[in-house]
Amino acid sequence: MAKKTAVNEPLNLSSKNLNNEKKHKDFNVKKKGGSFTKTIIYYMKKNKWMTFFMILICVISSVATVLGPKLIQNMMANLLAPSSGLDYFNNGTKTVGELNNLLDGKVFISGDENQFLTEEFVSNSKNYFTLFFGLHFGWDKWIYLQLSLFVVLGVSAYFSSYLGGTMGKNVEIDLRNRSLEKLVKQDMSYYSDKKIGEILTKIVSDTQIIGDQTASVPVTMISAFITFFGSLGVLVTIDWKLTLIVIAIMFVLLIVLQSTFTVVGRMSKRVRKTITTINGDVTDRISTVRLIKSSGTEAYENERFNEVHKEYYKKSFTLITMQSFISTVMTAGISSVQIIIVICSAILYKDNPQYLTVTLSAFISGVGSMVGPLMTLSRLVSGIIQASTCCYRVNEIILTVPRIDTHYEEGEGIIVDEIEGNIVFKDVEFRYPEKPEQLILPKFNFVFEKGKSYAFVGETGAGKSTISKLLLRFYDPSTGDIFINDNVNLKDVHLSSYLDKVGYVEQEPQILYGTVMDNIKYGNFNATDEEIISASKKAELHDLVMSWPNGYDTILGERGFMLSGGQKQRLIIARMFLKNPQILILDEATSALDNIVEKEIQEELEKLMKNRTTISIAHRLSTIMNCDQIIVLGRNQGIVQVGTYEQLKEEHGHFKRLYEAGLMN
Ligand SMILES: Nc1ncnc2c1ncn2[C@@H]1O[C@H](COP(=O)(O)OP(=O)(O)OP(=O)(O)O)[C@@H](O)[C@H]1O
């Protein structure tokens, strides 16, 4: 049998760790998963091309943003050049060359170096230019360049939003799929202490929050990083003194942000926990709506919901207050940069108005470019914190290792093609992992011969249903082993290939939301419509279905709300006829039905049982009378009697007592 390969768990937990933990612990391992940052990095590595283009677009847009102020500086210098030129102009006695020497070396005047200048020529700003990679750029060309930058910024904004959004959806869907994949492979015991609504919140809402944040956070972060440092570089070239002031303000803001991060994180975690509990409560009440309706407790439930929401409101209110405070501090801090710069530059350069005009306009624009992404980032802070909380919660699902190895990984486990031998319980002892202190089935041995029928009887809580759970491998025996085909350990088989040969009918049949057709087909997806109808006829369901206006396309409500108990049972039996299993497990399949319906269903079941290994868990005499063997279980005693109905009826013992006490009727 192939050894189980390492599971590829990306989020902060190496496969090696997982396997080690699996070896050393008996029960499900829960370990804290990766943070939001680690999750994003994982997906960025996974989607290399998308990440490459995302970074490229961010670089292009950031460079365009960063260059903006430099263009303004040059444009302003060109526009203001005529006033400097006129200062030096001396009644047509200066040449172009002489004036070029007098201008500060950044701006030049066009024309032949020896040409004498007229006032009209000098006062026209179109005759001034700056060099840009050897090109002569007048102020109008700087405007065109600025406009081109806007186009670049527009196009890159579209693509960064497109790529970020796509990445976000990919992450959301992938996390959801991986969580679901993990949940369906999870042990039954995993669900013992969990509310479905709580799991739903993690799968539906938490993954969506992570996806939404992934759509904007990486792009904003990369842009903020490049723009911040790029702008800083440009600001230094414009004026280093003013740049130092900007750095000091940013440093203070960073410290404020960092210190509030942990507090808000804790608050956000509490809020998510509360809403998860509430969602768990809602699903719990919706699924037990019959109890509410039959008890007339609607008003009580309303009251309860109001109460639980008060707690949620209180926690959310504290979080919102804190978030608003941070947002105000950040916005005020960031906006104050520009005012502080205006004041400082006025103080520093009041004696040089021309320098002040050119520098200040360019510098303010540069500060604007630098703080823009920081502003966006500060608005994202609460989202990032919330996403981090969600990541830990989703990872709790993804990183929980099932105790039972179903061998579903590629190339694993023994494939069961046919049930061609007996089922052997060897030295089996069982305690529920959720309650290990209670011994349910003391050590016992038993052989279920191929093709024969068996019935388990016993008082309530004796462990009859536990037998079916062991046969379906909901649980493994605490000690001992179960073999199929005489000597194949159930623990070693590819579970799905075995369950494919097993039919399970329980007291509360599981009906899926969907059509009658889909419901019968579940378990044999390749079946044709004719085969489905034939199975339905065998289960005496066909006439009933045909009496409905939409026939086999009738949508059955969630959990078969629209069907009676007997109709649901027939549907499951039809499903079993279609599946044609080699082992049949009937877990009190007819105990919820009245005598007349039970009699009809029993006939269908007997047709189904023919020539199959059948294990029934039964209360009713009618179910067990014709079985080849009856196994009597005593509470905490395991098997206390085995025999045919005729033998046990005569024997003094447990069965006779149950029989005489009327427990078999
Ligand atoms: N998931 C579980 N965790 C812990 N204990 C459990 C669990 N499921 C069942 N038990 C306990 O195991 C014992 C046997 O349960 P089981 O359902 O097999 O009894 P049963 O004979 O089928 O009873 P009934 O005839 O009432 O259906 C009971 O004491 C029950 O409380």
**490 pLDDT tier (thresholds 50, 70, 90):** very high
Domain boundary among 361, 383, 399: 399
Which atom of ligand 1 lies closest to the CA of 588? 27
- 190 and 317 in a single domain? The answer is yes
Which of 399, 414, 444 represents a domain boundary (last residue)?
399
pLDDT of 191 above 80 = yes
State yes or no: pLDDT of 34 exceeds 70. no
Give residue ranges with CB within 6 A of ligand 1. 192, 432, 434-435, 440, 458, 460-466
Residues 458 and 491 in one domain: yes
Weakest-pLDDT range from 101-105, 129-133, 205-209, 608-612: 101-105
Q: How many domains does the chain have?
A: 2
Q: pTM here?
A: 0.72
- Stretch 10-29: mean pLDDT, rounded? 34
Are 308 and 449 within one domain?
Answer: no
pLDDT confidence of residue 18? 32
Mutate which of 187, 403, 432, 588 for ligand 1? The one with the most ligand atoms within 8 Å of its CB, which is 432
Token pair listed for 334? 């960031």
- How close is the Cα of 469 to the center of ligand 1, in Å? 10
With a cut of 70, say whether residue 402 has pLDDT above it.
yes
Separation of alpha carbons 564 and 593, rounded Å:
10
Label each residue of 560-586 as H, E or C: HCCCCHHHHHHHHHHHHHHHCCCEEEE
**Which residue puts its alpha carbon closest to atom 6 of ligand 1?**
432
Q: What pLDDT sits at residue 560?
A: 58
Q: Is the dihedral of CA 432, 437, 440, 442 positive or negative?
A: positive
Q: Is residue 520 part of a domain?
A: no
CA of 441 to the centre of ligand 1 (A): 11
Is 568 contained in some domain? no
In this structure, which residue's CA is closest to atom 29 in ligand 1?
461
**Spacing, Cα 387 to ligand 1 middle (Å):** 40
Candidate from 133-142, 239-248, 372-381 with smallest mean pLDDT: 372-381
User: Quick one: 395 and 427 in the same domain?
Assistant: no
Distance (Å) from CA 58 to ligand 1 centroid: 60
Mean pLDDT of 426-453: 93
Burial 141-177 (b: 16+ CB within 10 A, else e): bbeebeeebeebbeebeebbeebbbebbebbbebbbe
Q: How far is CA 243 from CA 356, 364, 590, in A?
A: 15, 11, 82
Structure token pair of residue 6:
């390492």
Residue whose Cα lies nearest atom 11 of ligand 1: it is 461
Same domain as 436, residue 354 = no
Ligand 1 atom closest to 192 (CA): 1
Looking at residues 433-460, what average pLDDT do you find? 91
Residue 15 DSSP code:
H
Split at pLDDT 50, 70, 90, the class of 631 is very high
Comparing 665 with 323, which gets the higher pLDDT?
A: 323
Ligand 1 atom 17: residue of nearest CA: 465
Shortest-distance Cα residue to atom 30 of ligand 1:
461
Highest mean pLDDT among 24-33, 145-154, 186-195: 145-154
Query: Coil, strand, or helix at residue 136?
Result: strand
What does the pLDDT read at residue 17? 33
222 with 328, same domain: the answer is yes
Q: Which residue from 518, 513, 599 is spatially nearest to 557, judged by alpha carbons?
A: 513
pLDDT for 493: 93
Q: Which atom of ligand 1 is nearest to the CA of 587?
A: 22
Centre of ligand 1 from the C-alpha of residue 399, in Å:
29
Most confident of 64-68, 386-390, 641-645: 641-645
Backbone dihedral region of 368: left (phi > 0), alpha (psi from -120 to 50 degrees) or beta?
Answer: alpha
**Dihedral sign, Cα of residue 515, residue 519, residue 521, residue 522:** positive
Report if residue 577 sits inside a domain: no
- Kindly provide the residue ranges of all beta strands, DSSP E only, lying in 270-422, ordered along the sequence: none
Residue 559: per-residue pLDDT: 56
pLDDT at 380 over 90: no
Q: Tell me what pLDDT residue 2 has.
A: 35
Cα-Cα-Cα-Cα dihedral of 262, 265, 266, 269, to 10°?
-160
Q: If you measure from the C-alpha of residue 466 to the centroid of ligand 1, how many angstroms do you get, rounded to a whole number?
A: 6
Q: Is 435 left (phi over 0), alpha (psi -120 to 50) or beta?
A: beta
Determine the residue of 27, 403, 464, 471 to mutate for testing ligand 1's pocket, defined as the one with the most ligand atoms within 8 A of the Cβ atom: 464
Look at residue 425 in the predicted model and tell me its pLDDT.
95
Q: Which atom of ligand 1 is nearest to the CA of 456?
A: 21
Cα 120 to ligand 1 centre (Å): 103
Dist CA 40 CA 214 (whole Å): 7
Domain end position, chosen among 399, 415, 444: 399
Residue with more model confidence, 92 or 5: 92
pLDDT, one tens digit per residue, over 215-240 is 988 888 888 888 888 888 888 888 89
CATH of the domain at 177: 1.20.1560.10
Element holding 640 (H helix, E strand): strand 638-643
Q: How many angstroms is it from 142 CA to the middle of ligand 1?
A: 82
Q: Tell me if 346 is assigned to some domain.
A: yes
Is the pLDDT at 4 greater than 90? The verdict is no
Q: Is residue 518 part of a domain?
A: no
Query: Are 394 and 427 found together in one domain?
Result: no
- Residue 463 CA, ligand 1 centroid: distance in Å: 6
Q: Determine the distance separating the centroid of ligand 1 and the alpha carbon of 50, expressed in angstroms.
A: 52
- 546-594 pLDDT, tens digit each: 998 889 999 886 555 677 877 888 888 889 989 989 999 988 776 666 6
Does 505 fall in a domain?
yes
Residue 6: per-residue pLDDT? 31
Nearest CA to ligand 1 atom 10: 432
Residue 24 in any domain: the answer is: no
Bridge-based pairing of strands 629-634 and 453-458 is: parallel
Q: Which of 429, 434, 466, 664 to mutate to test the pocket of ligand 1 (most atoms within 8 A of CB)?
A: 466
| pLDDT on residue 19 | 36
Per-chain mean pLDDT for the chain: 83
User: How far apart are alpha carbons 341 and 331 in whole angstroms?
Assistant: 16
377/434 same-domain check: no
Residue 424 has pLDDT above 80, yes or no: yes
Q: Which residue has the least CA distance to atom 9 on ligand 1?
A: 466
| DSSP reduced 3-state for 486 | coil
Three-state DSSP class for residue 483: strand
pLDDT digits (tens, 9 = 90+) for 85-131: 888 777 777 888 888 888 767 788 888 888 888 888 888 888 888 88
Do 368 and 429 sit in the same domain of this protein?
no
Q: Are residues 368 and 226 in the same domain?
A: yes
240: its two tokens: 């280093």
Q: Which domain holds residue 209?
A: 45-399
Element spanning 655, H or E: helix 654-660
Q: With respect to residue 344, please indicate whether it lies within any of the assigned structural domains.
A: yes
Is the per-residue pLDDT at 211 higher than 90?
A: yes
| Residues 6 or more apart in contact with residue 467 via CB below 8 angstroms | 441, 456, 615, 617, 633
Query: CATH no. for residue 446?
Result: 3.40.50.300
Q: Are residues 439 and 302 in the same domain?
A: no
Report which ligand 1 atom has the smallest distance to the Cα of 633: 21
Same-domain pairing of 499 and 393: no
